[in-house]
Amino acid sequence: MSTIVQKFGGTSVGSTERIKRMADRVMREKEKGHDVVVVVSAMGKTTDALVKLVSDITSEPSKREMDMLLSTGEQVTISLLSMALQQQGVEAISFTGWQAGIQTDSVLGNAHIQSIDTGRILNELDHGKVVVVAGFQGVTEDGDISTLGRGGSDITAAALASALKADRCDIYTDVDGVYTSDPRFVPKASKLTSLSYEDMQNLASMGAGVLHPRAVKHAKKFGIPLYIKSSFEKGRGTMIHGKAKQIGSNPVIGVTFEKDINRVEMFDCEDVEGFRKALMCELASRHIQADVYKQTCRNSLSLLIKEQDLQEVLSILDKEKEKWMYSRIERKRGLSKVSVIGQNIKSQPAIKMDMCKILLENAVRVKLVGESAISVTAVVEKSQVQLAAERLHTGFGLDYKVVMKASM
């Protein structure tokens, strides 16, 4: 029998009314004869509200208690959705992350899934039940509840789909697919009906928040097709799979941005390269993503980090100040990153030049330009990021192009 994993994000389960509507979707899939496993997020903005509660109590919450708290959001949704299904005569059972056998490493707050013991889920599927699993959470070897990082329910869904060798993992969300840029900010963004794992991973890792980049990694490992579609509208979404082929010659596939970025710069470092390597290792061990640039002329090291990681990074830097010997540290908030994405972009220097030209012509003040194999990124003031994204989208010929990619 075929297995389908369905994932519903926060907006899709944002009210009891919506939970009932999603139960209908689950039921329809079940009626087609599939085994169905459902992964849900916390309702609406519940996770943000839980984070806010903490700020009334402490500015330095312990990671263990933070994960204990944040994991409760998803627990509310699994029980309500299971009840909604039972109410409609569908047999259903809810599982938290640990009940679903999801084991993670011990990096609390940003844990990675290490293994999934699917025994209990398979047993319930064998009994004809729909299994509803809490996204975004697992359990460490020590038996503590862990969370996977913001947006982590996508990871749960893709990892479960892989572990169960599912036929498909459907990601239901509040947009009707993946676009060449965030359609809420770039109105001329074009929908991509089909994408390769690599392209999706490149877009997601540089800020396309529609899907967590680690979800793509899990799906790619076992070749599970990911289907991104709207919870609210009918119509074709975006299929992400191994056979998507590029049509057309545009080397740029999308424009992404991240709005709340901090720049932290350490000056007069004694050994910039040694510092860079050690810092990157430390950040990697904590699963913190950062862009690290060294400026040899000033013996300085610059970090671009997300707002949510700022406190942790500052405390690492403070603890290690003596060891890494820098004279002072400067911090700038209110920045954003905007990137153009495509495979092998680094080997095409004209793209970086065009990007700088477009930004200059539109009076966007660029603080820093960096590049990787798949992207060129400019750091700009947050107040200018939307303008920058729109102009780059137009400048690189991405506006309203009907479809850039097609399935085989």
Binding track over 16-55 against ligand ASP, x by CB under 6 A? -------------------------xx----x--------
Q: CB neighbours (10 Å) of residue 249?
A: 5
Query: Cα dihedral angle (178, 182, 184, 188), rounded to 10 degrees?
Result: -90
Contact by Cβ (8 Å): 145, 68: yes
Burial annotation 363-373 (CB, 10 A radius, 16+ → b, else e): ebebebebbee
Q: Return the number of the residue (61 or 209) whose C-beta is nearest Mg ion.
A: 209
The secondary structure of 354-380 as a DSSP string is HHHHHHHHTTPPEEEEEEETTEEEEEE
Residue 101 is a binding residue for Mg ion (CB under 5 A): no
List the one residue from 6, 11, 140, 162 that touches ligand ADP (CB under 6 A). Answer: 11
> Among 59-67, 78-86, 147-155, 326-334, which window interacts with ligand ASP (CB under 6 A)?
147-155
* Cα gap 365→396, rounded to integer Å: 19
List the one residue from 14, 44, 152, 225 that touches ligand ASP (CB under 6 A). Answer: 152
Q: Taking CB under 6 A as the criterion, which residues in 167-226 touch ligand ADP?
A: 173-175, 178-179, 181-184, 203, 208-210
Distance of CA 396 to the CA centre of its chain: 25
Q: Return the number of the residue (8 or 396) whose C-beta is nearest ligand ASP.
A: 8
Residue 10 is a binding residue for ligand ADP (CB under 6 A): yes
Report the sign of the C-alpha dihedral through residues 271, 272, 277, 281, in that order: positive
List the one residue from 8, 95, 98, 136 that touches ligand ASP (CB under 6 A). Answer: 136
Strand order in the sheet with 366-372: 290-295, 300-306, 254-267, 328-341, 375-381, 366-372
Binding track over 151-170 against Mg ion, x by CB under 5 A? x-------------------
Q: Return the number of the residue (78 or 252) whose C-beta is nearest ligand ASP.
A: 78
Q: Which does 152 bind (CB under 5 to 8 A by kind): ligand ASP, Mg ion, ligand ADP, none?
A: ligand ASP
> Among 9-17, 51-59, 118-126, 321-329, which window interacts with ligand ADP (CB under 6 A)?
9-17
Contact by Cβ (8 Å): 92, 128: no
Residue ranges that bind Mg ion, judged by CB under 5 A: 9, 151
